């Protein structure tokens, strides 16, 4: 199965057209496009344009409001709750992160919990908005349940990612962006295409037995929390995923745990949802709220250089700083284009046809 390579600008044009056709205004369609494609640029292919058809299906099912009235519904000097009005998370999340940044300008830090939203793309985009303001950025979101807590076989949590972005001086920023599971769904999809098994410790079948079937989620199986099993501290991954769920949804009034709304539009909404939509949580901390920004950045440079030079096990594989692989992808793909799997191209063709968009595939 071959990949086709597209220039970033081509995919930007197509994505913008799709968001426009479903009713986003110019500003929102531009922003949603930039956020969505930041995943493709950064090499997180599962969260980028491959999901565009999924967003459109949510809109068709009336689960996404293309012209939301996003607003602050509660606030203090350092906090806010934002109601996303069922908008695209790709638009709601940057609004909320900007609120966090503005609050940090005024009182050192800003913390925003969001309800009534939808999937927000990659956690990293939003957290990284803080960097240009000399702030540390944080971003997390809950997601539809695919993960079983330690000792359970039931889907109770999403892959609930966390991103922490920390500015440096001469060195590139530290950007840790990760699901709180051992493996994210995107890694299973890669193995499915190759018809390969997973390592033990990624997934469990519906009875709770450890298995290596990359298709097990379609058979009622679950993803495992970071740590894999009790002996390797899966209770820590379960705790992390829970913290993300509570900060994103219980604090804001979104729907939490097994009641988080599903991304695939064909999956029925959970019964008796205890809150509204999906939830996110954002933070921004001015580094000069702690010490002079130049001091901080000088020491971050020192931190990064020291860790980069930590003694490697194999001389050909040096230690990586969080954010290095994604930055390498971005540089390479801006230059050489973005490869799309043929199944993604097929989806995009049907989308263009349905929405009457002309695009040369």
Q: Which parts of 247-306 interact with its own copies (CB under 8 A)?
A: 250-253, 256-258, 274-275, 285-287, 289-291, 295-296, 299-300, 302-303, 306
Kindly tell me which of 307 and 329 has the beta carbon lying closer to its own copies. Answer: 307
Q: Are strands 203-204 and 71-76 parallel, antiparallel or unpaired?
A: unpaired
CB of 26 to its own copies, least distance (A): 32
In the list 307, 327, 345, 357, the residue contacting its own copies (rule: CB under 8 A) is 307
Q: What is the largest CA-CA distance in the chain?
A: 56
CB of 160 to its own copies, least distance (A): 12
Check residue 176 for interaction with its own copies (CB under 8 A).
yes
**Out of 268, 314, 335, 358, the residue judged to bind its own copies by CB under 8 A:** 314
Nearest approach, Cβ of residue 357 and its own copies (Å): 38
Instruction: Mention every residue, 6+ apart, whose C-beta is less than 8 A from residue 301.
Output: 168, 169, 170, 171
CB 106, CB 39: distance < 8 Å: no
Closer Cβ to its own copies, 20 or 144, answer by number: 144
- Residue of 71, 151, 220, 264 interacting with its own copies (CB under 8 A): 151
Between CA 130 and CA 133 the distance in angstroms is 5
> Is the separation of the CB atoms in 14 and 357 below 8 Å?
yes
Residues shown for the chain: 361
Question: Which one-letter DSSP state was computed for residue 349?
Answer: H
Span from 43-51, 107-115, 263-271, 337-345 in contact with its own copies (CB under 8 A)? 107-115
Nearer to its own copies, 21 or 286 (CB): 286
152 binds its own copies, rule: CB under 8 A: yes
User: Which position among 98, 133, 150, 185 is part of the footprint of its own copies (CB under 8 A)?
Assistant: 150
Kindly indicate which of the ranges 24-32, 105-113, 124-132, 326-334 contains the residues binding its own copies, using the contact rule CB under 8 A.
105-113
Report in angstroms how near the CB of residue 293 gets to its own copies at its nearest. Answer: 11
Could you say which residues in the range 129-148 bind its own copies, by CB under 8 A? Answer: 148
State which residue, 32 or 284, has the beta carbon closest to its own copies: 284
Residues 155-174 that bind its own copies (CB under 8 A): 156, 164, 166, 174
Asked if 171 and 139 count as a contact pair (C-beta separation under 8 A), the reply is no
Distance CA 318, CA 259 (A): 42
Place of tokens 């994505």: 15
CA distance 171 to 77: 33
HSE (CB half, 13 Å, CA atoms) of 289? 17
**According to CB under 8 A, which residues from 33 to 72 bind its own copies?**
none
Q: Which one of residues 68, 124, 237, 261 is an interface residue with its own copies (CB under 8 A)? A: 237
Q: Which is nearer to its own copies, 34 or 235 (CB)?
A: 235
> Nearest distance from residue 113's CB to its own copies, in Å?
5
The CB-of-95 to its own copies minimum distance in angstroms stands at 17
The contact mask relative to its own copies for 200-219 (x = CB under 8 A, - = no) is -xx----xx-----------
**Contacts from 224-228 at CB under 8 Å and sequence distance 24+?**
224/147, 224/148, 224/181, 224/182, 224/183, 225/147, 225/148, 225/149, 225/150, 225/157, 225/180, 225/181, 225/182, 226/179, 226/180, 226/181, 226/182, 227/182, 228/182, 228/200, 228/201, 228/202
């Amino acid at each position: 199965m071959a990949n086709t390579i597209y220039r970033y600008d081509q995919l930007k044009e197509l994505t913008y057209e799709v968001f426009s056709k479903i009713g986003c205004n110019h500003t929102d369609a531009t922003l949603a496009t930039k956020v969505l494609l930041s995943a493709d640029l950064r090499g997180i292919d599962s969260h980028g344009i491959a999901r565009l058809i999924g967003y459109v299906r949510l809109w068709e099912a009336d689960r996404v409001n293309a012209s939301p009235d996003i607003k602050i519904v509660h606030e203090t000097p350092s906090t806010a709750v934002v109601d996303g009005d069922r908008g695209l998370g790709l638009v709601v999340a940057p609004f909320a992160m900007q609120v966090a940044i503005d609050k940090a300008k005024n009182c050192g830090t800003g913390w925003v919990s969001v309800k009534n939203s939808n999937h927000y793309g990659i956690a990293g985009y939003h957290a990284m908005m803080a960097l240009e303001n000399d702030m540390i950025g944080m971003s997390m979101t809950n997601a539809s349940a695919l993960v079983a807590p330690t000792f359970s076989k039931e889907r109770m949590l999403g892959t609930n990612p966390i991103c922490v972005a920390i500015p440096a001086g001469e060195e590139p920023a530290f950007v840790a962006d990760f699901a709180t599971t051992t493996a994210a769904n995107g890694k299973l999809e890669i193995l499915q295409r190759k018809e390969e098994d997973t390592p033990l410790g990624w997934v469990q079948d519906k009875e709770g037995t450890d298995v290596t079937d990359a298709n097990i989620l379609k058979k009622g199986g679950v993803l495992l929390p970071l740590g894999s099993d009790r002996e390797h501290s899966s209770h820590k991954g379960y705790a992390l995923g829970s913290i993300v769920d509570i900060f994103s949804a219980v604090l804001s009034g979104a729907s939490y745990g097994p009641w988080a709304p599903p991304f695939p539009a064909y999956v029925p909404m959970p019964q008796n949802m205890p809150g509204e939509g999906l939830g996110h949580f954002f933070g921004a901390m001015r580094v000069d709220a702690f010490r002079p920004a130049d001091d901080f950045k000088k020491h971050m440079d020192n931190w990064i250089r020291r860790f980069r030079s930590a003694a490697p096990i194999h001389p050909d594989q040096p230690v990586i700083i969080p954010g290095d692989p994604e930055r390498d992808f971005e540089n390479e793909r801006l230059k050489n284009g973005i490869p799309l799997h043929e199944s993604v191209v097929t989806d995009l063709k049907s989308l263009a046809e349905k929405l009457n968009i002309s695009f040369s595939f």
